[in-house]
Structure 1
Amino acid sequence: MPPTARERARAEITAEITDLARAQLATVGATGLSLRAVARELGMVSSAVYRYFPSRDDLLTRLIIDGYDALGATAEEADDPTAAPAERWLAVCRAVRGWALAHPHEYALLYGSPVPGYQAPRDTVPAAIRVGVVLGRVLGDAARAGRLPAASGAVTGTISEATAEVLGGEHPALDDTVRARGLLAWSSLFGAISFELFGHFTGAVTDADAFFDAAMRDLAGLLGL
C-alpha cells in the first residue's frame, strides 16, 4: 500500500530535520547539537520538532544509524565477489576511507570522541557492523574457496560467537587466531582512517594514498588473503 499524504509529509519533515542536524555537526559538532536550533532553522516551534524526535539523544541515534548505514552501503557496493580476495579487501577499505574523507563530520560522530551524556542504544549495532560484515565476507569466502592458510589454533577463547559470525562464519580455516587477526584488521582500518582524518599523521606521512594502500595490503597479508 502506498504511503498516505500524512506519512509522506512526516517523512519529508523528518528528512529535513536530519539534514539540518547533519549541517549542525559541521558547525557545532555532536555536543552542540540542538533540537531548538533545528526548529528555528525550519521555522517551527520546538514542540513541533519534538513530535518527530522526543529528545536530542533520539536525533543523535538517528544520525548515527544513518551514518553507519551510509558507510555500510558504500562498503557493500565496493565489494566485487568475483575479484581476488586481496583486491576485494583493498577495494572495500578504499571505499570506506573515501566515504570518511567525504563526510568527515559524520565520521567523527561515529568514530570520534563520545558525546557526553549520550549512550548509543543497541538499535545502532546492526548498522555499526555492516562494514565488518563485508570484511568478514571477504575472509569467509576466501576460506571456503581454499585460499586461506590452514588454521593455526594458537589463540582460543578470545572471540565472541557473535563476532565470529560476522568475521566469516564457521569454517575449518577460520579459528580464533584468524578471527583475532580479522578483528585487528577491522579496527586497524578505522584506526588508520581516524589518524588521517583527525590530523595524527601530519608530519609523519608524505603520501596518504600510498601509505593507506600499503597498510591495507599488509593487513590483507596478515589475514592470509
Structure 2
Amino acid sequence: MTSTPPTRSGARTGTRTPRERYRDQTRAEIKQIAVSQLAAGGVEGVALLRIAKEIGMSGPALYRYFASRDDLLGELVVDAYQAVAADIRAVDISSGGRAALHALATAFRDWAVAQPHLYLLIQGTPVPGFRAPDETVAHAREVLGPFLTVFAGGRPSGSVEPLVGEFGRWLRDDAAVAAWVEKWTGLSSEEAAVALTGAITAWPQLHGTVGLEAAGQFAGMGHRPTTLLAAQVDMLADAFQLA
C-alpha cells in the first residue's frame, strides 16, 4: 500500500490536507469500481480506462493514482488478504483443538464463498506476468497465524513426522519464519515445527476444497461443500491428534 504523504508545513501532526483526503477518497473509489469489475468479469474485466470513464476522469489523470493495472491489482490483493485475515482473527479459538480448527476453516470458507472474485484473485497469479507486492507474504502469514496457535497443541502422527522434520529445518534456516511462528505460539523449539507443519498442511487442504467451491466446480455433485470441508478438517485434526 502507498505510504501516507508527509503533512504540510505548519499542520498538526496526524492531520491531513484536503488534497490528501481527496486523493485517498479517489483511490478508494477507483478500487471499489475495480472490485465491481472483478466480480462481473474476472481479472480480465478490470480496465483502467473504463474506471476513469465511470468516475468522470481522463485516462492520464487516473494514472496519477495507480501507475498501471498491475499496481491496482496489487493493492486489491493486499486488501483481500487484510480482509480475510481480519475475519480469521475474529474467530474465538480459546477452546483450542479440533473445535477451534473447525471454526477457523469455516471462517475462511465463509469469506471466500461470499466474495469468490476476491478469493480467486489471491488464490494464484491473476494475470500472466503479474507479481504480487512483496508485502503479500506478510499478509498471507497473518491469515495463517491463528492456525499456528491451534496446531501448537498438536502431537503429529507418524504419517506427518517427515514433514515435521523438513519444516523444522526451515525454521532453523529462516529467521523470519521462526519469528513469525514464535509470535503466534511463543514456541521456538521442536513444538514450533509441529505448529508450522500443521498450519502449512492446512493451507492446501483449505484451498483445495474452498477453491473448487468458489470456482463453481462442485455444481451438480452429490454433496455439500461444507460436509466435505468438515471431513477434511477432521482428518487433519486426527493427523495431529487434536482433541
TM-score scaled by structure 1? 0.85
Q: Distance in 2 between matches of 1:163 and 1:223?
A: 21
Uncovered stretches (5+) of structure 2, i.e. residues with no partner: 1-13
Conserved in 1, the CA contact under 8 Å of 2:157 and 2:239?
Answer: no
1:38-77 pair list within 5 angstroms: 38-77=51-90
Q: Sort the Cα spacing of 1:165 and 1:188 in 2 relative to 1 into closer, same or farther, 3 A.
A: farther
Q: Sort the Cα spacing of 1:37 and 1:21 in 2 relative to 1 into closer, same or farther, 3 A.
A: same
Q: Sort the Cα spacing of 1:195 and 1:15 in 2 relative to 1 into closer, same or farther, 3 A.
A: same
* Residues 159-200 of structure 1, C-alpha deviations (whole Å, 9 max, x = no match): 62344554544244343x664343122221111101122233
Please give the secondary structure, in 2, of the residue aligned with 1:122: coil
Conserved in 1, the CA contact under 8 Å of 2:101 and 2:147?
Answer: yes
Q: Does 1:83 align with 2:101?
A: no
Partner amino acid, structure 2, of 1:157? E
Partner residue, 2:155: 149
Uncovered stretches (5+) of structure 1, i.e. residues with no partner: 143-147
Please give the secondary structure, in 2, of the residue aligned with 1:173: helix
* Residues 55-111 of structure 1, C-alpha deviations (whole Å, 9 max, x = no match): 111101000000011011111111x24223221111111011000011111111111
Partner residue, 2:40: 27
Q: Does 1:14 align with 2:23?
A: no
Partner residue, 1:216: 233
Q: Sort the Cα spacing of 1:217 and 1:164 in 2 relative to 1 into closer, same or farther, 3 A.
A: farther
Conserved in 2, the CA contact under 8 Å of 1:53 and 1:59?
Answer: yes
Please give the secondary structure, in 1, of the residue aligned with 2:127: coil
Conserved in 1, the CA contact under 8 Å of 2:149 and 2:195?
Answer: no
Conserved in 2, the CA contact under 8 Å of 1:35 and 1:56?
Answer: yes
Q: Sort the Cα spacing of 1:15 and 1:172 in 2 relative to 1 into closer, same or farther, 3 A.
A: same
Q: Distance in 2 between matches of 1:203 and 1:183?
A: 30
TM-score scaled by structure 2? 0.80
